[in-house]
Amino acid sequence: MEIQFKNYACACLDTCLWEVQNAEGTLEIRVPDGMPDIGRILASWGQPILRGKEWRSEQISFSGGMMVWVLYAPEDGSAPGCLEGWIPFQMRWDLPGNIRDGQIRIGLTTRFVDARSVSARKIMIRAGLAAMAEAWTPGEAQLYSPEEIPKGVELKRERYPMRLQKEAGEKTFLLAEELPLPGSAPQPEKILYCSLSPEVTDQKVMANKVVFRGNGNLHMLYTAEGGQIHSWDFPLAFSQLAELEESYSGDAQVSVILCATTLEPEIDDEGVLKLKCALVGQYLVDDIQTVEVVTDAYCPGRSMEMTIQELCLPVILDSSKESVFGEQSIPAGGNLAADVQLQADYPSVRSGEDGLQIEIPGSMQVLYYDRDGTLQSTTSRWEGKCSLRADGDSQVIARPLPTPEPQLMVGGERMDARWELPMEIVTTQRTHIPMVTGLELGEAKKPEPGRPSLILKRVGSDGLWEIAKHTGSTMEAIRKANNLRDEPEQGQMLLIPVGL
């Protein structure tokens, strides 16, 4: 006798790619007519821009680039000059097999920007960009459940609450702001460079909507009257809402990664600072879904054949935030810091004797005035580390979050910097569960002559299900005979009703 099973789908997103790729680009810039010759390079900066993403059957790609600025001290001793340019980037990632369609999320960070003078009228810029690519494909795991259960058939049903990736998408929005400086700040004459470090401060799922809020965190370096260089930070608050394809439970969570797609600062004719920029918020929604499957079965008094398949689901085990604290002592004597920029690569995760080791290399550039009032700069490399405990079968993904400006203490012959690098740590695992997908009842077993109707058994490591199956009883009968509500204690003596 065959017991019929019906099947239904458990939909989720399956990660088919998570990979960081580094690339370098170069640009040669000529000093425009009317600007003085180059004396020495002072500092250089970069702002990554995401222009487009594309999914092909065998690979995904992103296109964009980096806005770059170079500050130099002229040979004639006049006020510093600033040049700007654009370095295009395009990166590709191979997909595992021919996958027609899916969702992409790209994160970008500036690794470094170096500049050197080729001649008195020419500068060569070299920039490093790191891109984190995530790709998901829609998947469906097939679950099975028996339709009608004949009398005497015992089923072991297990319920597994699992956090699964459910939906990915993006929301593009604009920021168009006037940037007011306080009255105590020197009024700007020329923008030297600006960088945008967008940060999500609050993100949540509300039924069929994603809501996220944050700050644009615009950092700007400019010259004021007299040629003095100053920096200022603008928070640029935003609040956005995106419609989802489905409605989710109160346990749903969302992770949003922001990238700038355009950045246009300017000073108008009246001396007002203005900014126009576009951002894209790329979100991933996960939710808890309770999966119920039959993992074992038997029938006291009859033989039975089971068909078992393995249920495999990509499960999120944990999501947390960690911080790496760093400090650096820079051998440079100065009286005033004009600008501090901290750059961090994407973290790398390695297995070690004490668990997982997360390493974050990066660099710090300081633009400052020395004791003689001359503008100087210095750049130093650094590396941050932290350790985590994790199961050997799990995958740990570390995503960097926007970094607050380092605290810089200037004095003596050194400058001391301290900072905190926040990270989002996500641990995932492919969970494998045995699942009964078919049952066939055989002939009745011949009774054993002289077998008693009650057995006295001491509990070992087996639970009620294993005891009932091995003895030919049922969990309900054992509970009733021993007045049990939960699993028996190890070493406890039980009365086992058999021959039911």
Is residue 245 classed as helix, strand or coil in its secondary structure? Answer: coil
Of the candidates 68, 52, 49, the residue with the CA atom closest to the CA atom of residue 60: 52
Of the candidates 141, 200, 138, 202, the residue with the CA atom closest to the CA atom of residue 165: 138
Asked whether 57 and 98 are in contact (CB, 8 A), the reply is: yes
Radius of gyration of the chain (CA): 32
**CB within 8 Å of 250: residues ≥ 6 apart:** none
Q: Residue 182 has which token pair?
A: 């306080």
Does 447 score more than 90 pLDDT? no
pLDDT by residue (tens digit) across 218-229? 999 999 887 889
Q: Max Cα separation, the chain?
A: 113
Cα–Cα distance measured from residue 140 to residue 162, given in angstroms and rounded to the nearest whole number: 14
Q: What is the pLDDT of residue 228?
A: 86
Segment 203-230 shows an average pLDDT of 92
DSSP labels for 448-495? PTT--SEEEEE--S--HHHHHHHHT--HHHHHHHHT-SSPPPTT-EEE
The total of other beta-carbon atoms located within 10 Å of residue 96's CB is 10
Does 392 score more than 70 pLDDT? no
**3-state per-residue secondary structure call for 32-44:** CCCCCCEEEEEEE
Does 500 score more than 60 pLDDT? no
Phi, psi of 391 (to 5 degrees): -65, 145
**DSSP 8-class letter at 347:** P
Cα–Cα distance measured from residue 490 to residue 325, given in angstroms and rounded to the nearest whole number: 47
Cα–Cα distance measured from residue 109 to residue 341, given in angstroms and rounded to the nearest whole number: 13
Asked whether 388 and 421 are in contact (CB, 8 A), the reply is: no
Specify burial of residue 433 (Cβ count, 10 A radius: 0-12, 13-18, 19+).
Answer: middle
Cα–Cα distance measured from residue 370 to residue 374, given in angstroms and rounded to the nearest whole number: 6
Q: Which of 280-289, 425-434, 479-488 shows the highest mean pLDDT?
A: 280-289
**Could you give the domains of the chain?**
317-436 (no CATH), 449-500 (3.10.350)
Segment 232-252 shows an average pLDDT of 95
Q: What is the pLDDT of residue 252?
A: 97
**CB within 8 Å of 189: residues ≥ 6 apart:** 222, 223, 224, 225, 267, 271
Query: For the chain, what is the mean pLDDT?
Result: 90
Q: Residue 263 has which token pair?
A: 């950045």
pLDDT by residue (tens digit) across 51-85? 999 999 889 999 999 999 999 999 998 989 999 99
Does 379 score more than 70 pLDDT? yes
Segment 387-413 shows an average pLDDT of 81
Does 327 score more than 90 pLDDT? no
What percentage of the chain has pLDDT greater than the value 90? 57
pLDDT by residue (tens digit) across 128-181? 999 999 999 998 899 999 988 888 899 999 999 999 999 999 999 999 989 888
**DSSP 8-class letter at 498:** -
Does 256 score more than 90 pLDDT? yes
